[in-house]
C-alpha cells in the first residue's frame, strides 16, 4: 500500500552512488505492479458504485488513485535512472560490458544497451568524413601521440598497428600509441604514467 | 563521480521533476493535516482490502489529526478543502521562522528534515496565508548560509569534510559537492595532471565491489 515497494526501489537506487548499477529487482518490480493492478481493479469496482449514488466512496477512489500515480512515478523513475546508468557504462567502459555488470541488467535493459550502442556507432560513423569519428576517445585533450603506460594486471598479449605483439604483464612499462591504450587505461588494466 | 552519469536533478521552485529520485524521496516527507469530512463508514469498507489500507483510513474521522506524506497531501488537497486541510510543519511556522531570521547558520538543516528547501518550496502549493513569509524565510536562509558553504567547499582540499556537511540539507550538500569537484579539478590541472588519462571512477568502483564479493 502507499507505494512502499516502489519507494524501496527508488531508495536503493539513490543509495547506489557514483552511477553504480545494482541488480535489477525483478521480484519487487512484479510485486509493485501487482499492487497497482489490485488498486486499479478495486477502483474500477468502486467507480461504478459511486456513479449510482454512493458519493462517500469518492474519497476512497481518489486515495487509491493517488497511490497508483505514486507507484507509477516510482517505477518509471527507477527504470529511467537505470537506463541513464547503463548509458554511462557505454561511455565509461566501452562496448563490451563485463559479465558481472551484465548479470545486474534485465533482458530488456541488455536489449536497450545493444540498440544504444548501434545508434551511437551509426552516429559516429556519419560524423567526421569517411572513417567516422570515435567520440569516446580523447576524453581528455591529448598532449602527444605516444604515451608511457604501466601494466596494473596481467592482460596477456596485445597487438599494435605495425603487427608487433606486446606482452602485458603486471608492472611492465611500455611506450604505446595513445589511441590503442586509452580504452585499457579507462578499464583499469593500464596506468598512464606521466614523466 | 562517474562523469558520464547525469541523473535527473530535483526541480526548482514549486514544480517537482517527475523522474527525479531526489524529488520522490523529498515528497515522501510527512506533513501534519486534518481530515475535513466525516468518513467513518470507510473503516467498515476497508475490511475487504488487502490488509494495510486499514491502518491509514481508520484514522480518517472528521477533525482528526493526521501525518501524511507530501505526495498524498498534494493529491488529496483541493481549494475547497473538502477532504483534508494541511497545516505547516513546525519548522516553517512563526516561531522557527524568527530563529532562522536571527541566525540561519547555526541551524542543523539536516536534522530538520533533509530536504528543507525542496519541501518548503512545495508547501507553497497549498494556499496558506503565510506563504509570502515562508517564501521569504526560505530565501533569506539560503542567502545567509550560502557564503559559508561556498567558502568551505572551495578551501577543504583532501580533508575529511564530514563535519562541514553534517548540518547541511540535501540541496546544500549538492552545492558543496559541486564546489569540491571544481576545487579538485583545478588542483589537478595545476599539478599538470589534466591530460592524464585515468581509469573511470565507475570502473574502479565495480572493481572494488567485485573484490568484496569474492572475499565475503
Put simply, the answer to whether A185 touches B197 (Cβ < 8 Å) is yes
Give the bridge partners for A192, in sequence order.
Answer: A149
Three-state SS at B110: coil
What pLDDT does B173 receive? 93
Q: CB atoms < 10 A from the CB of A62, how many?
A: 15
pTM: 0.87
Residue B130 buriedness (CB in 10 A; 0-12 / 13-18 / 19+) = middle
Residue B58 predicted with pLDDT over 70? no
Residue carrying C-alpha cell 580533508: B159
The complex's ipTM? 0.86
Residue B59 predicted with pLDDT over 60? no
User: In whole angstroms, what is the distance from residue A178 CA to residue A192 CA?
Assistant: 10
Residue A149 predicted with pLDDT over 60? yes
Phi, psi of B63 (to 5 degrees): 80, -5
pLDDT bin (cut points 50, 70, 90) of residue B209 is: low
Residue A99 predicted with pLDDT over 60? yes
Q: In the numeric block, which cell numbers belong to residue B97?
A: 521562522
Interior/surface letters A106-133, b for 16+ CB within 10 angstroms, e for the rest:
eeebeebbeebeeebeeebeeeeeeeee
User: In whole angstroms, what is the distance from residue B49 CA to residue A179 CA?
Assistant: 62
What pLDDT does B213 receive? 54
Residue B60 predicted with pLDDT over 60? no
Put simply, the answer to whether A63 touches B51 (Cβ < 8 Å) is no
Residue B76 predicted with pLDDT over 50? yes
- Does A70 reach chain B within 8 Å, measured CB to CB? yes
CB contacts of B192 in chain A (<8 Å) are 194
Interface contacts A/B by beta carbons within 8 Å: 147
Residue B79 predicted with pLDDT over 80? no
CA B198 from centre of chain: 33
CB contacts of A70 in chain B (<8 Å) are 71-72, 75
Residue A117 predicted with pLDDT over 90? yes
Amino acid at each position: 500500500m502507499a507505494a512502499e515497494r516502489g519507494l524501496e526501489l527508488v531508495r536503493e537506487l539513490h543509495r547506489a552512488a557514483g552511477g553504480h548499477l545494482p541488480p535489477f529487482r525483478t521480484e519487487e518490480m512484479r510485486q509493485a505492479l501487482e499492487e497497482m493492478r489490485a488498486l486499479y481493479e478495486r477502483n474500477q469496482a468502486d467507480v461504478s458504485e459511486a456513479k449510482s449514488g454512493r458519493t462517500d466512496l469518492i474519497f476512497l477512489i481518489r486515495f487509491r488513485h493517488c497511490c497508483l500515480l505514486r507507484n507509477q512515478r516510482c517505477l518509471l523513475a527507477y527504470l529511467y535512472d537505470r537506463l541513464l546508468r547503463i548509458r554511462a557504462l557505454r561511455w565509461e567502459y566501452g562496448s563490451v560490458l563485463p559479465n558481472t555488470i551484465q548479470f545486474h541488467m534485465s533482458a530488456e535493459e541488455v536489449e536497450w544497451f545493444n540498440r544504444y550502442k548501434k545508434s551511437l556507432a551509426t552516429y559516429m560513423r556519419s560524423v567526421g568524413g569517411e572513417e567516422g569519428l570515435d567520440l569516446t576517445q580523447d576524453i581528455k585533450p591529448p598532449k602527444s601521440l605516444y604515451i608511457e603506460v604501466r601494466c596494473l594486471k596481467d592482460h596477456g598479449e596485445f597487438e599494435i598497428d605495425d603487427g608487433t605483439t606486446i606482452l602485458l604483464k603486471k608492472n611492465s612499462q611500455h611506450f604505446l600509441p595513445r589511441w590503442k591504450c586509452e580504452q585499457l587505461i579507462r578499464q583499469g588494466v593500464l596506468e598512464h604514467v606521466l614523466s | 563521480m562517474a562523469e558520464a552519469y547525469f541523473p535527473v536533478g530535483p526541480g526548482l521552485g514549486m514544480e517537482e521533476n517527475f523522474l527525479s529520485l531526489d524529488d520522490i524521496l523529498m515528497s515522501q516527507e510527512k506533513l501534519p493535516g486534518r481530515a475535513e469530512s466525516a468518513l467513518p463508514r470507510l473503516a467498515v469498507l476497508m475490511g475487504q482490502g488487502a490488509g494495510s489500507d486499514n491502518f491509514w483510513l481508520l484514522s480518517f474521522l472528521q477533525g482528526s489529526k493526521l501525518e501524511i506524506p507530501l505526495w498524498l497531501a498534494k493529491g488529496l488537497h483541493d481549494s475547497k478543502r473538502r477532504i483534508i486541510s494541511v497545516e505547516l510543519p513546525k519548522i516553517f511556522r512563526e516561531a522557527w521562522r524568527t530563529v532562522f531570521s536571527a541566525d540561519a547558520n547555526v541551524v542543523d538543516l539536516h536534522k530538520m528534515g533533509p530536504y528543507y528547501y525542496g519541501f518548503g518550496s512545495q508547501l507553497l502549493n497549498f494556499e496558506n496565508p503565510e506563504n509570502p513569509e515562508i517564501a521569504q524565510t526560505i530565501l533569506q536562509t539560503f542567502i545567509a548560509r550560502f557564503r559559508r558553504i561556498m567558502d568551505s567547499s572551495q578551501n577543504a582540499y583532501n580533508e575529511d569534510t564530514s563535519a562541514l556537511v553534517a548540518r547541511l540539507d540535501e540541496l546544500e550538500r549538492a552545492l558543496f559537492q559541486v564546489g569540491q569537484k571544481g576545487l579538485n579539478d583545478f588542483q589537478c590541472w595545476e599539478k599538470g595532471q589534466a591530460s592524464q588519462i585515468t581509469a573511470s571512477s565507475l570502473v574502479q568502483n565495480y572493481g572494488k565491489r567485485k573484490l568484496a564479493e569474492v572475499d565475503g
